[in-house]
Amino acid sequence: MARLIKDMLRRGRPLVMGILNLTPDSFSDGGVFYREGRVNIDTVLYRVQGLIDGGADLLDIGGESTRPGASKVTLNEEVDRVLPALEALRNRFDIPLSVDTSSPALMIEAAKSGAVMINDVRALGRAGALEAAAAMSLPICLMHSRGEPQVMQDNPQYRDVVAEVLAFLQSRIDECEKRGISRTRLILDPGFGFGKTLEQNLSLFRALPAFVAEGFPVMVGVSRKSMIGKLLEKPVEQRVYGSAALAVLAAQAGAAIIRVHDVVATVDSLKMLEAVRPM
């Protein structure tokens, strides 16, 4: 499965990763897939068909909201949200599925259920996560974050946000290698919006070429985030154009995966970029 992701990354343009938040409280689409307190699989299947028709290359399924101020989720809650949907999608569609989780137990079960990638906003920082990743062969996305969602936006401080985020990711790469996790399995994410102010996010975005220069595929997730809302003074549902603009800029900077809510707008924007400047 790691080879599948590598083959996709060789296409010469960023992969468009569609977001599937199976949570009641995610900042953009929380509760969309809920009925009577549980994830409604029929609604999930309908949404995924739309993402596939819109041109998504892969999907990222999450059962824990990591928006600023989000409530903590138990392992059982996260598993109950993710695994039934993952299994239903594997039985219905051929699209590659990533699972957005920091929970070692869910990582293992997701791999058994057909996930082709693990996306961890805590960069394998939870107890047992490195061991779980070492026990599988899937690609792993290591993301930078500072603090848990409940407090991560409480006045984050950096002397040099770019240098510190790069240093953190390098430290996680080193830990992975010590546990026998090959560098060829790793993807990096600067973690836009995770313990960063607007100016810190903008500094990181401008520095994307430095992250790409580290030699790992880089994933960018800025879709509909508050950095766009603050700049454009737009609510979440009106941040599509700002998100698409940043997707194009991320592609120009060398991003390998762009994680988005609005697949059609992103795919169309990248097609135009590809037409005028082959990537």
Q: Using pLDDT thresholds of 50, 70 and 90, give the confidence band for residue 32.
A: confident
| Candidate list 172, 259, 271, 277, residue with the active-site label | 259
* Owning domain of residue 220: 2-276
* Share above pLDDT 90 across residues of the chain, in percent, rounded to a whole number: 78
Q: What is the DSSP letter of 184?
A: G
Q: Using pLDDT thresholds of 50, 70 and 90, give the confidence band for residue 34.
A: low
| Candidate list 13, 81, 225, 239, residue with the active-site label | 225
Which of 53, 70, 65, 67 is closest to 18 using CA atoms?
53
Residue 225 falls in the annotated catalytic set: yes
Whether 16 and 265 have beta carbons less than 8 Å apart is answered as no
Domain CATH code at residue 58: 3.20.20.20
State pLDDT tens for residues 177-195: 999 999 999 999 999 999 9
Average pLDDT score over residue span 32-40: 72
Residue 196 falls in the annotated catalytic set: no
Q: How many domains are there within the chain? A: 1
Query: DSSP states of 208-274 as a string?
Result: HHHHHTTTS-BEE--TT-HHHHHHHT--GGG-HHHHHHHHHHHHHHT-SEEEES-HHHHHHHHHHHH
Average pLDDT score over residue span 44-65: 94
